Structure 1
Amino acid sequence: MADAAGRLTKLAEEVLGAPLPVRIRAWDRSESGPPGAPTLVIRHRRALRRLLFKPGELGLARAWVAGDLDIDGDLYEALDRLAGLIWERSDAPKPPRAALVRALARPEIRAAAREMLALAGAPVPPTPPAEELRRRRGPLHTLRRDKEAISHHYDVGNDFYALVLGPSMVYSCAYWESPQATLEDAQRDKLDLICRKLGLREGQRLLDVGCGWGSMVLHAAREYDVRAVGITLSEEQAGFARKRIAEAGLADRIEIRVQDYREIHDEPFDAISSVGMAEHVGRTQYAEYADALYSLLKPGGRLLNHQIARRPVVDEEAYHVDEFIDRYVFPDGELAPVGRTVGQLEEAGFEVRDVEAIREHYALTLRSWVDNLERHWDEAARLTSPGRARVWRLYMAASALSFERNRIGVNQVLAVRTPEPGDAGVPLRARDWTG
């Protein structure tokens, strides 16, 4: 089985009908592919067995998580070159599955496929790393299943997240004055922007849905003198947030609950922030989510919904969730086009007053998180697991490229429960939030 890299390169190029965009280095130390390009390192032939068992993205993800695949060189450049092959990017010349079907009709490709089976060795694929893979249980978006999904993503250790997120402990898109700003300044500016859009004033009552580690409610209470309730489904987040609040001397003005938004019954609130949480709600539950937030607000109250959006597709019913993200990162999460989000908020009774698209800001944020993870790699792997650290590095780097390429976006939607006879109570000049 000498020159495994050369044989794999030839096979890949025959299937794709185009030159391979990266180099390959195989387990036998052979190399092949364009000089100077990032190198896809296949550490073990197990990687091929995973691909044969689950062709496409999920097989590649399993090999990556297990450490059977790696990248030597610039990770972003490698993912950018591979994007059309892995994620079926809309500007890719040929969808990989269609190309594969056509290729397998040719005798020489069938022979090459048999050769890949020989290269892979034993035909039975090994089990993927169980501790990194979310096991689905029960109907979608029940209280129990949503809590389990949130725990899978967020209960991986506060110390791990502190390495990635930095001192702000904010796990959502920052708001950058310039690419040269610090992550801390950008996250502080994002929290303050939300408070100003909500028009927070002394003595008001704020609900933060999906409060994370408490950064939003801390900023609002400290800088705007509000009383705040933060809810999360993560026990680890709640414990961390309560400790921060006590240390800040704000325990009399901030309450943290482990609670689902569907279980809140102590309304009304003057304002609601929902930052990076609605992605977990799901298409079937979004109307209920919008109705619930509307009912929790006082007339005249404002909602700031900060949410990732995907691009629309021709057949929305055929849209499917990214397998790698669903199985390893955000179980049961779903993205919707911003138009659908605005429409459902309006159907719940809200008056939508502003939509601000900030996708470039998320690309900068993700690159900062990846930098933090890579600088603290050994400690991050120790605090969680090598496989989990590899999952986070891949998904954050790939997501940064998705925002940069406009495959996904992120929007802040300001909506008001406008009272009769119709004065929404917002300034006359757009985005003069405190006027």
Structure 2
Amino acid sequence: MSRSALSPSAVPDPGVPDPSPELLQRALAVRRSATALGQLGDRQRRAAVKALADGLERQRGLILAANRADLEAAGADGLAPALVARLKLDATKLDAAITGVRQVAALPDPLGRRQLHTELDQGLVLERITVPLGVLGVIFEARPDAVMQIASLAIRSGNGALLKGGREASQSCAAIVDALRAGLAGSAVEPSALELLTSRQESLALLRLDGLVDLIIPRGSNALVRFIQDNTRIPVLGHADGVCHLYVDRQVDVDQALAVAIDAKTQYPAACNAIETLLVHEAIAPVFLPMAVAAFSAAGVDLRGDAAARSLGVSGIAGEDDWRTEYSDLILAVRVVASLHQALEHIASYGSRHTDAICTTDPRAADRFLAAVDSAGVYLNCSTRFADGFRYGFGAEVGISTQTLPPRGPVGLEGLVTYRYRLRGEGHIAADYASGERRFSHRPLPL
């Protein structure tokens, strides 16, 4: 199964176009603005993020009108329901996004943190300091609210951003970026730190901007993410699949587990952190599944089960492909398992390392599940829908990473910085240490 990862070794398809001179100039402008942005202090960057929120507030009417136009076009084009749900930006959703931007402004500064401080020898002192990545290239489908999240995190962490939304969200994205840049116009950050790409040709050419773009973050379908991973030399951060599981153990609070299951599937089925497979221990299945079938049916969920699940009321048939499918819809695969071990084996075989949960009252089963499941998020007695940067207190997220190397899970400010080693000396030369004339002390100093 494909796993998402930082993948700078991909060989681009010859069909991916080189950037045009005009796109190169715009990318260079973002790069220059990002360099200046990364040297600003905490107070200036914090004020700039607040200015982003103010800009959104001032132009909220234009943003909502642009989104309504996109939704009308989506209806005419027959856009899939899951994409329409992600595309919709009503007043409530916009208010939540603006609140998220203000929360990002209030977060501690991720830059200039000293992670290591060592005296290598007298007068020769080494530091490791957090610094911005540089320029982010973000490609996303039908998620206009992603523009606000990404822009706020980028500016707060000292990074510029090239943003490319899907065609279906073109008017919404343009209105949002106009509002964001208008907000920055009164701050210490140059509006050119944020740039919106508008054509498919530009989004493809973005993959060729190695040297100008430091990280690409795709947010969209499996096909989109995999295409990007396969066609750029720029590191890619994201996830290709969101096949999340909930396992209901033999010892469980049935009512609690049912509430968690319903929320994890139906609260927002188009989200990548909604469950796609429900695993139920055979000892509790005769009690739990009839209740679950009734509750899920009332919520409009299409259940597809194995033979054991169908004998307990699940009507649809689950095939092999169902265990590995991210439906992003009101469809749920159900399997009855003989043991916790079998549940763990199923998740290891079919999961995408996104978010998986267990409902149990057995502390030993809980501890084993939390230790054994190799996912970015592993939960006990709560909905997988909590896998979200806003809910984690990050203010927002640029995406969710399912790679094993960090950053992992919802990626907020901490995932958008790297570090730099700084060494201060007084004429020290390596030859003195090679000859044995001087020796390293490697004495830790206070951070």
If the TM-score is normalised by the length of the shorter chain, which range does it land in? 0.3 to 0.5
TM-score with structure 1 length normalisation? 0.33
If asked which structure has higher relative contact order (CA below 8 Å, sep 6+), I would say 2
Name the structure with the higher helix share.
Answer: 1
TM-score with structure 2 length normalisation? 0.32
Name the structure with the higher strand share.
Answer: 2
